[in-house]
Chains A and B, each alone.
Chain A
Amino acid sequence: MTLPRSHRDTETERRRAGETERGKDGAQEFVSLLTSVPLSLPLRVSVSQWLKFLAFLGLALCANVFQSGCHKASEKPPDIVIEHKLAPDPPRTGSATVTLKLADSAGKPIDGARINLEANMSHPGMRPVFSDAREVEPGRYESAIEFTMRGDWIIIVNIVLPDGRTLQRQIDVKGVLSG
C-alpha cells in the first residue's frame, strides 16, 4: 500500500533525524500481538502477560464495583411511610408545591417532624434550591420550591423525626417544562 505523503513525511523525519528504531510491518505486528506471541522484553514481561495483567485489573475493579452496588441495594427501608405529591403535575418552571405525608407502619400520621428540601438538577454545576416544609395538618407537610430551569430535577428530602431519627428520601422529577 502506498502511504499518504504526510505519513511518509513522518517516517522520513525520523530517518532523517537519525532515529534507527525499526520494526516489522505494522499490520504483521498487530496480528502477532493479537496472537500473543511471547517476546523477550526487559524484566521478562511478555505481551501476553501484559494483557493478562490489564484484564485482571479490569476484572478486579468490576468485581469491586458490583460488590459495592449489591451492598447499597440491600439496605433495609425504615418503618416510615412517606408519600409525596407535586403540584403542578406535570411540573413546570417556577414555583411548585411539594406535599409530603408521613405515617408510621400502622398508618398513623407523624406530626412534629422537621423537614427541609434540596432540589438539584441532574447536571452538576447548577446551584441547588432549598426550602423548609411546614406542617399544615398532622402528618401532612407542604413546601414551596422553585424550579429555576427546565429538565430533570432531583429533590432530596431531609427529615428529622420527633424521636430524633433522621431520614433522607429522594424524589425524581422528570422533565420540568416551561412555566
Chain B
Amino acid sequence: MSKSFDKPSEQSSRTLAAHDSRAFDLMEAPLLGRFLRWRHARTALQIPLLVISILMVLHGFFGPALAPKNLATTVSWVHFRGALVFVLLLAGNFFCLACPFMLPRQLARRFFRPRYNWPQRLRNKWFSIALFVLVLFAYELFDLWSSPWWTAWLILGYFLAILLVDGTFKHATFCKFVCPIGQFNFVASTISPLEVKVRNQEVCADCRTKDCIRGRRDQATDPIVIQRGCELALFQPRKVGNMDCTFCLDCVHACPHDNVGIISRLPASELTTDMQRSGIGYFSRRKDLAALSVVFTFGAILNAFGMVSPVYAAQNWLAGVLRINQEAPILGLLFVMALIIEPALLLVLAGWLTKKWGGSRSAILPLIIRYSYALAPLGFGIWLSHYGFHFLTGIWTVIPVFQSALASTGWPIMGAPMWGLGGLPQNAVYLMEMGFLGLGLLGSLLVIYRLAEEDHETHTRIVFSVWAGLCILLWVSAIWLLSQPMEMRGAFIGG
C-alpha cells in the first residue's frame, strides 16, 4: 500500500523533535560550551576571519598574480572550502556562525536600520539557486581558482552585496534568501551530527515570551530588544533540523530558560521525515528546496567534472559540432545539460518507475520532490571528496604563502617561505575520497529506504531499488570522475 503526499505525515515528528537525554550537548562541553555561551562568542569567531578576509582581499589585489602564491586563491579555494566541508561533516554549520561577512553588516546596522521586507515573491530559494549556479559557472568560466584578482573581487563583492541587501531589508534576508554559500551550508548541514534545538519541549510549552524568535527585552512590553531572536524565522519549539539554521546562537542567548542547546542527532535523519518545520513548512511542498538539493548534488558532479581531462574533450567536441569558438556558450550548454536536462531525465524516469512499479497513487512531481532530498548525502559525499582532496593534498601550502605575504610587507617574522611544503600524498587521499563517496552513498540509500518504507509498505524494495539505482549511477559517475587524472586548465577550447 502506498500513501499520497498531498497530506504530509506528522509521523515521527515528535520523536525527532524530542531531545534524547543521552544525546551530547556541545553547550555542556567543558571550555567550548562555556565559550559558546558567552554573548560575544560569535563576534570573537568572526573577528579573526574578518581580518583574514581583509588580508586575502588586499593580497588578491596587490600581491602576486600567481594563484599558488596568493592568499586570496590559496585560502579561498583550498583551505576555506576544505575546512568548510570537514566542519559540516564533523559538527555542523559553524562556518555560518563565524561568517566574517556578517560583521560589517552588524556594524552598518548600528547606523542604519533597514525598513523593508524582502519581496514575497522572492521568499524562496529560486534566486539563491540561480546565484549558486552563477558562482559555479563563473568559477569555471573565469578560472577563479587561478586568479587572485577575481577571487579578491568575489570576496569584496560578497561584502558589498551583504551591505546592500541586509542594509535595505530586515532580518537575515541575505542568509536566508540570497547567500549561495549559505544555501550550500544549509543543504550540507542536514548531514551534520549536531543541531541547534530545544532541550525540553515542556519548558517551551510553558513559555509565554517566545524570546527565541521575538528577541529578549527587559520588560515584555519594552520595544527595545536587548538580545535578538532568530532572524531566519525559525521558532525553536517547532524547528526541525538544520535547514536554514546559521548556528548564530541568537536563540541560545535569547532563551530565558537556557533551553536551547547544540545537540547531537543521527546525521541526515531530518531528511527522512516530512513534518511542518518552522520557517520552512513541509519539505514535500517546497519545490525550491527540492531543486536546491538536486542542484547541490548534480552541481557536485559538474564541479568535479570541471577539473578532469574529459571535460576538455567534451567541450572541444561540442565546439566542433556547434562550430562555436567561445567558451561561455559551450560552458553554458554543459551547465544546462548537467544541471537541468540530465537531472530532469533521471528524476522523471525514477518517479515514473516508482509510480508504475511501486503502485504509488501520487503524481510524479510530488514523488520526485519527496525523494530529491535523499540525494543530498551523496551530493555532500562528492563535494567532500573533491574539496577534501584539495584541502588534504595542499594543507601546508598556506604556510609559505603567509610567510611570503609577511615578507613582502617587510615584516618577515615567520622566516623565509618554505615553498616545498605540500600536504598528504595523493594516493592516501584517494582512498579517503573513495571512503567519503561510499559514506555519501550509504547515507542516501538509508534515507531512500526509510522513505520507501514509510510511503510504500508493500513495494518498499522495488521503490528503494529504483531510487537506489539512480544514486548508484551518480556514485559510479563520481568514482569515475575522481579517478581521472586531475587537469586544471585555464582555456578549454583548442587545447
Contact = CB atoms under 8 A, between A and B. Distances in A.
Is B one of A's binding partners?
A: yes
Interface in A41-98: 41-43, 45, 47, 50-51, 54, 57-58, 61, 64-65, 68, 93
B217 to A, nearest CB: 11
A26 B486 contact: no
Contact of B67 (A5, A124, A150): A124
B327 interface: no
Interface stretch (A6-14, A99-107, A133-141, A159-167): A6-14
Contact of A125 (B68, B118, B487): B68
Contacts, number: 192
Nearest to A8: B281
For chain A, the bracket of interface size reads 35 or more
Contacts of A41: 112-113, 115
B165 to A, nearest CB: 11
A30 B35 CA distance: 40
For chain B, the bracket of interface size reads 35 or more
B179 interface: no
A121 to B, nearest CB: 6
Interface stretch (B87-95, B338-346, B389-397, B405-413): B389-397
Contacts of B390: 123, 125
Contact of B70 (A14, A16, A124): A124
Nearest to B492: A175
Contacts of B62: 68
Contacts of A19: 213-214
A48 to B, nearest CB: 11
Q: Is the interface of A mostly helix, strand, loop or mixed?
A: mixed
Contacts of A121: 68, 488
Residue from the set A21, A118, A156, A175 with the largest chain B CB neighbour count within 10 Å: A175
Contact of B61 (A10, A17, A65): A65
A163 B307 CA distance: 44
Interface stretch (B12-20, B45-53, B295-303, B416-424): B416-424
Contacts of B391: 125
Nearest to B79: A125
B414 to A, nearest CB: 18
B121 A1 contact: yes
Interface in B175-219: 210, 213-214
Interface in B78-129: 78-79, 111-113, 115-124
A120 interface: yes
Given A6-B280, A13-B213, A50 B394 contact: no
14 contacts: A1-B120, A6-B280, A7-B281, A9-B281, A25-B120, A26-B118, A26-B121, A26-B122, A58-B160, A118-B419, A152-B146, A156-B66, A175-B489, A175-B495
Given A65-B61, A120-B66, 6 more contacts: A24-B117, A45-B111, A122-B143, A123-B390, A125-B68, A174-B490
Interface of A: 1, 3-7, 9-10, 13-14, 16-19, 21, 23-27, 29-30, 33, 39, 41-43, 45, 47, 50-51, 54, 57-58, 61, 64-65, 68, 93, 118, 120-128, 130, 149-152, 154, 156, 170, 174-175, 178
